[in-house]
Each structure stands twice: as C-alpha cells, then as structure tokens.
Structure 1
C-alpha cells in the first residue's frame, strides 16, 4: 500500500514538472509608466494652528463653512496675557505726559523760585558793590553778596537742567510704555486666529472650552472646488518624471474608472525615511466629486510605443534572456516595459515559441 501511494506521488510530481507554459511574441502598443500612490488634496490645503496655548473661548466656524481671508476662525482666552495687556495699558496711561504734569509743574516751580532768588541776589550784589565803591560797608559783606549771587545762579542752572532731564525721562518712559502696550496687544492678537486664505473648512478638531497648543492642528482649510493629486514616487523612478507628463489615476471611490491628470510639480527633496519623492498633478479629466485625503493610485506615462513586438515580463530570465521551447536560453534586447509586458528589440521574432521559466 505504501509503495502504491509513493508511485502516485511520483507520477503527480513528474506530471506537474512536465507542464510548461508556452507563448509567442505579439505586436501591440506598449506604454512605459511609473507607478505612484498618494492622496487627493484641496489646492492650498493647510492645517490651522494656534500660535499660543490657551482655551478655545469661541469657535466661529464649523465644517463645511466657506471663509474669506482674514475671517476669524476661533478665539482663545488666557488670563496671564490679558492681565499683562491691562497692566501695560495702565502703565502707558500713567507714563503719558498728561499724567506727569505734576512732576513737570513742580520742576517749573523750582525754576521760577531759583530765578527769583537769582534776581534778588543779583540786585543785592549790585547795591553792595555801589556801597563799596562809595567806601561804605565791609569787604566781608561784599564777598557774602557775591557768594550768595553765585550760589543762586548755580541753583537756577541746576533747576533748568533737572527740568530738561525730567522731560527726557518722561518722554522715554512714555515711548517705552507705548511699546510695551504694543507688544502686549500683539501677543493678545495671537489669541484671535484668522483664515490665511479664501476656502472651505474641511475639518474642525476642537470645541469651545477645550485646550489648544501650537503643536496641535485645530482645523483644515483649502479650496472648495479645486483639487490636486499629491503622489509618492520611488527614488528608483523619480529621475524619469518630468513636468507635463500625463497621469492615469484610479481611486477606490470610483471603482473601474480611470481619470487623467498632468504632472505640475516635482519636489526637489527626497524623503529620507520612505526613500520617495513627492510630485503633484492637476486633473484634466477628473471625477465629479472629490474630498481631501481620498486615496489614489496612478501611473505616470513616460512614453508610448506603437506596434511593438512584446512578450510577457514573466517570461524573462535575468531581464535579458528567454527560454525557447526546446529549453535553449537565448539573449534578447529589450525596450519599453510596463508592468505586464516588455518590448523585444532584437533576438526574437513572431514565430519563435518561448516557455515560461519555473519559479
């Protein structure tokens, strides 16, 4: 019984081994293309981030809304910056010239007082000199009047200098306070987030009362009726891509349909992790309805060869050989290739029968 089973297995084995798939070269059109995969994006699509941390005070938009550039999307609240702004405003008001009139008036009064004293001491000195010329009074009295007049002049000059310094100080303080208020107001402005461009709100991730920070996107905005393809191309193929090349696109959302696009942008930077480059394509014949982040597969057409002699790629051996029907290995020269067939430039004709190599 065991010998019988073994015999059956041997017969089955040799039967499978002797089964050979044969074919001939065929003349047909062949297109060389590069495979790419990616997603649909709204033109100008971007994620909205807050520039500061805070709590959403009011969400002004919802998904599906149309917005214009500069429209308020949402506002944040944070007590510390608000208090800082209020403090800056108070300081700015206090440091204004009007709020410091008392200091200036006091300095002016000191000038007036010093001027009056200087005038009095100057008159007394002149009188004492006249008396001295008439040989009336002592030398000591004259010197006392001269010293008093000198001190009065110095006090007057000092009062003038202090007034000028106070004016400069108050002007500087006022400018500094206004600048602090301006900075504080700018920071406060960061708590109001606006749209950078006209478009449609596709996604909103936060609600009023929720916390946000500069690292977390709050919304997604893009064009409402203009969509592009963002595709990834392997580094092996990216050098073959050129602007203006035709792209054939398929999507799971539109089974069995093929759409057309054109390469419009090739990023000059290769992703180190995925070893792929990003290209963009614009639809020339697109589907009626599109949504951001729909997945897509595409073939970028490099060239089309009409009436080419072709064989299935699976019949190639080491990329440059084929097996004839008699098992002979023959070298051929290949040309345009797609994912199923390859052009034969030389080494094979229509009458040659070739066999598929075993895996």
Structure 2
C-alpha cells in the first residue's frame, strides 16, 4: 500500500467518526428542544399513593405490666454449731417438715454434762450448809459469796450443754444433710438448711416509670414453666425506696401463699402486676406511629392523608393505646408513610380500607332510536 492510499484511508476514518459524533449530538438535543409531550386532555396531573391502613378500634383489657422474678423462702437459714463436738444424734429425715423447737442434731455433751453436775453438786452443798447455819457468821458470809459464784457456774454449764443441742428456729422444711452420726463438727461449720416454704417471697424488678403506679397491696399473678397450666395469686408486699441507678429499675417483693407446697424457693417465674381493668381503650397498630419528635399518625379522610399528633399510652401485643388525637373508627396509615406528606392523595388498601362505593349501573347498549328522532321520522 502506497503512502497516498494510507492517508486516504485515515482521512475517511476521521470523517466517519466526526459524522457519528454529530449524529449523536443532534439526536440527544432533539427531545430537550422539543420539550415534554403534551398531556392527554383530561388526564390527572398526579396519581394517589397506595397505602395500607387500619381502623382505630376500642377494646377492653386488663391494665398490667409483666416482669420476671425469683421465688425465695419466707424464712431461710443454714444451721451451724456454735461449739465443736461429735455428732451423737440426728433427729430428722432429709426433706422433712419440722416444727419450731424440734431438736435436729445433738452433739456429744459428756464433758458439759459433767461440768453441770459438778457445779450443781457444789451449789446444793453450800445451800444446805447456809440453811442449817453450821458455820460461823464469817464463814456463812464467805459461803454466801461462794454460793453466788457456783450459781453462775451452774448457769454457764447449762448454757454449754444447751449449745450441744441444735434446734429448729422456726417451722419449715429441712434440706439434705451431709453429716452422719460420729462426724466431728467444728464451730461454724454448715450443718443443715431449713426453709419456711408455706409462704414464698417473689422478688422482681420493674422499670422506674412505673414508680407512681405500684403500691403495696396490689394483685400480682405468678406463672412458672414448671407448672404452665396454673396461675398463682400473690400480693405486692414491699417496694425498695431506692431506684437502681444502673438499670433504672424498682426492686419489688410480693408474698405468695404456698400452703399446698407446689412451688419451691429458687424457681424462675413470670410476674404480672395488675393495675385494673380498662374499658373502651383506643388501640392502633404500632407500625402506624410516626416517630421523630412527638408521636404522630397519618389519618386518612376524604382520600387525603393528614399528619395528626397523638398521645400514647400502654403497648400490648403489637398494639399501642392512643390517649389523645384520634377517635374510634378513624382510619390511619400503617404502611407507606415514607411516601406521604401533609395532604397527599392516597388510595387505602388492606383490611382497614373503606368499602368502595357501588358503581352506577350503565344503561344497556341498544340500537333504539331516541325519542325525538322517532317522532321526527314518524312525521316524515
């Protein structure tokens, strides 16, 4: 290929590229210059936004608050010997119910009983001598002083002997023992626990915003996973005066009658504090609430959505109480709020949408001639 031919091919390529560029430029400018196509006569400027809606309903429900708690014994103690000794007698069976004052464990008290017997013997002898006045006045006075010392010694020996008998401080159920007859116990060593389970304490916490609503004597309902079909009644008994600054919660305690012994200390329970029954409470789905400042909802009326501020109450099963701003029967938007603005046209859909007006029946199409035309034709 000669030099002239090569230059010719390059020139043709450049001209072709220039032509394509010009065509693309003019093609893109044409729609902009022409402007938007005119709208068809009578077509609407904008279309309603489809939104899901629900009706505001009024219902009755029990006003309450739920929490989780733990059961505790009304009274609970771990018995420990105050003096060292060897176990001589065990007076209970594991898990048995015992009365107050029942002797549970007796330690070997041979030494203490001997000391008590000696002290009583010396005391009795001096009492006899003083009574018969066989001594001089000086000896009598000395014996009287000795008598007081020996009286104190008797009391000390009796106290030591009593420490060797461990009794139940209250009526309750004893636990499982870990000692046997013949074991040597040191003072302060764990011996056996005893629990008063006829009445149980229910300890639980509530958010601090319920502080003004809870009070002593309110009804409490208790449910446990161990007995899911049963509900136990309790009464709020005490409220901690200090709010927990870490969790911002209130520590509360209820008392539960457990005379049948179905429940045990340490069990996990679910608690409901009952504030009373409320009538005709207005409820809307939670998803209808528009957040970001004061709570509000989009209320649908005459095909338009209007933003209405509301005051909310309790929440229950994906529903929220409306105290102010709505009335029963109002229609609120539950989905599609992000596409709305004040006064926007909407088309409600869903279960809460108002029933569509029945369409007007169209006249049947016939080939009948209008009355005027018929009369004219007849006159001809």
Match of 2:235 among 263, 282, 287: 263
Aligned length: 275
* Structure-2 change in CA distance of 1:94 and 1:303 (3 Å): closer
Per-residue deviation at 1:233?
2.5
Per-residue deviation at 1:340?
4.3
CA contact (8 A) 1:31 1:338 kept: no
- Quote the Cα distance in structure 1 between the aligned partners of 2:63 and 2:266: 28
* Counterpart check, 1:47 vs 2:21: no
Per-residue deviation at 1:263?
1.2
- Quote the Cα distance in structure 2 between the aligned partners of 1:101 and 1:347: 99
* Structure-2 change in CA distance of 1:93 and 1:227 (3 Å): closer
Q: Which residue of 1 aligns with 2:309?
A: 331
Q: Which residue of 2 aligns with 1:240?
A: 213
CA contact (8 A) 1:36 1:299 kept: yes
Per-residue CA shift, 1:107-133, capped at 9, x if unaligned? 96xxxxxxxxxxxxxxxxxxxxxxxxx
CA contact (8 A) 1:264 1:282 kept: no
Per-residue CA shift, 1:30-77, capped at 9, x if unaligned? 4332333323456x4422423514356133212232322221111235
- Quote the Cα distance in structure 2 between the aligned partners of 1:191 and 1:276: 44
* Residues 1-359 of structure 1: pairs in structure 2 closer than 5 A: 23-41=54-72, 44-50=74-80, 52-55=82-85, 57=87, 58-77=89-108, 83=111, 86-87=114-115, 89-94=117-122, 96-98=124-126, 163-201=136-174, 203-208=175-180, 209=183, 211=185, 213-214=187-188, 216=190, 218-223=192-197, 226-234=198-206, 236=208, 237-255=210-228, 257=229, 259-267=231-239, 270=242, 276-282=250-256, 289-313=262-286, 316=289, 317=291, 320-324=294-298, 330-338=308-316, 340-349=318-327, 350-355=330-335
* Structure-2 change in CA distance of 1:267 and 1:191 (3 Å): farther
CA contact (8 A) 2:78 2:194 kept: yes
* Aligned-partner SS, 2:94: coil
Per-residue deviation at 1:179?
1.4
- TM-score (norm: length of structure 2): 0.58
* Structure-2 change in CA distance of 1:300 and 1:313 (3 Å): farther
Q: Which residue of 2 aligns with 1:11?
A: none
Per-residue deviation at 1:343?
1.4
- Quote the Cα distance in structure 1 between the aligned partners of 2:276 and 2:68: 19
* Aligned-partner SS, 1:33: strand
* Aligned-partner SS, 2:170: coil
* Aligned-partner SS, 2:331: coil
- TM-score (norm: length of structure 1): 0.61
Question: Higher helix share goes to which structure?
Answer: 1
Per-residue CA shift, 1:251-302, capped at 9, x if unaligned? 11123x3514141522555586885423223369x99933333221111011
Per-residue CA shift, 1:70-112, capped at 9, x if unaligned? 21111235x8xx646644643553455449969x99x96xxxx
Q: Which residue of 1 aligns with 2:348?
A: none
- Quote the Cα distance in structure 1 between the aligned partners of 2:286 and 2:157: 69
Cα RMSD (Å)? 4.2
Report which of the two structures shows the higher radius of gyration computed on alpha carbons: 2
**Structure with bigger RCO (C-alpha 8 Å, 6+ apart):** 1
Gaps of 5+ in 1: 1-19, 109-162
CA contact (8 A) 1:38 1:229 kept: no
- Quote the Cα distance in structure 2 between the aligned partners of 1:278 and 1:187: 42
Per-residue deviation at 1:174?
1.6
Per-residue deviation at 1:165?
2.9
